[in-house]
A = this chain, B = another copy of it.
Amino acid sequence: MRLATFRRRADEPHLRQVGLVLGQGDHVRVHPFDAGFDLVGLLAESPEWRDSQADVAAAGDGLSLDEIVLLPPVYPVAMRDFLTFEAHVDGMERGHGNPGPPAAWYDAPVFLFMAPHAVTGPYDDVAMPPDTERLDFELEVAAIVCRDVRNATLDEARAAIGGYCVMNDWSARDIQGKEMSLKLGPSKGKDFATTIGPWVVTADELDDCRDGDGFLDLPMTVSVNGVRVGEDRSGHMGWSFEQLVSHASRASWVKAGEVLASGTCSTGSLAESWGRTGSLTPPPLQVGDVVEMTIERLGTIRNLVVEPEESVDAVAPARRRSRLEASA
């Protein structure tokens, strides 16, 4: 089942609804559930109950994509981004002059917490952030958590994952590089936009897409202005999503409404090419570029890079403690 969050173009911007997605390509129609239905809540229900509600929704006329704006399927209560694709780590490390992934990468799936308020809809424009000359994308799979878990076994983790969607973790590489040199990981380098969508495909729909180890194995592609620039498979992750949830929940809460992302797949970003080749080829994204990402069975997100918003001035450099002490 495919579940979308949307608003009608004619309605107030804050009025959100959940809808059942039926049809393919130009024939997609979104059939609203009754007001009050919550996407994460629907994911937590049994497939049978969800089917019974979907039957009710499907009986209505439905709306074409022209009549609605698809929103981020969820507004996450927290967002974690992992680093699970070995070949991506390899490319990035070579960019830093290292021979390949550090030994520590293989030990456990490292992640960072991301800006939860930066999620944007699957076809929304993305404004060029301030101060960057190296805007990049990151092609990822995202899992939506529908149950609170702590110390989840792999079985419990599987039951806690309600569905999956496509994610573009937009990244300003020059800002990110500076931030990461201070060892805290990226923040302003990534907090301006994270595109998720186009909708959530429920986990039970994807049982036939698992490999022998139970890893979700879906082809992933990304193009810029219609030219294919990257492709990989989610089966190349070093850990399954169930392992990611279990790891994250070890002595810690993972809560319903969280989004956990795979990290960038191999060739799923420009920076990996920059690392491998030592040159800015393909070039950083510019205003006017269109980035399109498709993951089989999950759908396509497509975003135009637009002019930066008018932003507040950057803050002044640090007040130095030595200056304070000299004047004391």
Complex Cα distance, B185 from A112, in Å, reads 7
Complex Cα distance, B104 from A188, in Å, reads 14
As a 0/1 sequence over residues 167 to 193 of chain A, the CB contacts with chain B under 8 angstroms (1 = contact) are 000000000001111111111100110
Complex Cα distance, B101 from A83, in Å, reads 27
Provide the residues of chain B in CB contact with A185, threshold 8 Å.
112, 180, 183-185
For residues 228 through 250 of chain A, which have their beta carbon under 8 Å from a beta carbon of chain B? 235-239, 243, 246-250
A319: contacting residue among B105, B215, B309, CB under 8 A: B215
Q: A117-B253, A130-B250, A252-B192 are in contact. Are A315 and B151 (CB under 8 A)?
A: no
Provide the residues of chain B in CB contact with A127, threshold 8 Å.
251
Complex Cα distance, B106 from A315, in Å, reads 11
Q: Which residue of B lies closest to A233 (CB)?
A: B324
Provide the residues of chain B in CB contact with A316, threshold 8 Å.
239, 243
Provide the residues of chain B in CB contact with A113, threshold 8 Å.
112-116, 187
Provide the residues of chain B in CB contact with A110, threshold 8 Å.
179, 182, 184, 187
Complex Cα distance, B255 from A118, in Å, reads 11
Query: Does residue A59 face the partner (Cβ distance < 8 Å to B)?
Result: no
Q: How large is the interface on A (under 10, 10 to 19, 20 to 34, 35 or more residues)?
A: 35 or more
Q: Which residue of B lies closest to A179 (CB)?
A: B110
Q: Is the CB–CB distance between A130 and B239 below 8 Å?
A: no
Provide the residues of chain B in CB contact with A181, threshold 8 Å.
102, 104
CB distance from A220 to the nearest CB of B (A): 14
Q: Is the CB–CB distance between B118 and A253 below 8 Å?
A: yes
Query: Does residue A111 face the partner (Cβ distance < 8 Å to B)?
Result: yes
Query: Does residue A26 face the partner (Cβ distance < 8 Å to B)?
Result: no
Complex Cα distance, B42 from A112, in Å, reads 32
Q: Which residue of B lies closest to A78 (CB)?
A: B116
Q: Which residue of B lies closest to A185 (CB)?
A: B185
Complex Cα distance, B251 from A127, in Å, reads 9
Query: Does residue A318 face the partner (Cβ distance < 8 Å to B)?
Result: yes
CB distance from A174 to the nearest CB of B (A): 12
CB distance from A242 to the nearest CB of B (A): 9
User: 20 extra interchain contacts, Cβ-Cβ under 8 A, other than A77-B116, A111-B187?
Assistant: A78-B78, A80-B187, A81-B184, A84-B318, A107-B317, A110-B184, A111-B184, A112-B184, A112-B187, A113-B115, A113-B116, A118-B253, A129-B251, A183-B183, A191-B248, A237-B319, A239-B316, A239-B319, A243-B315, A246-B312
19 sampled A-B residue pairs with Cβ under 8 A: A77-B77, A77-B117, A78-B116, A104-B181, A107-B317, A113-B113, A113-B187, A116-B116, A127-B251, A130-B250, A153-B312, A180-B183, A188-B252, A235-B324, A238-B320, A239-B315, A239-B319, A246-B315, A247-B314
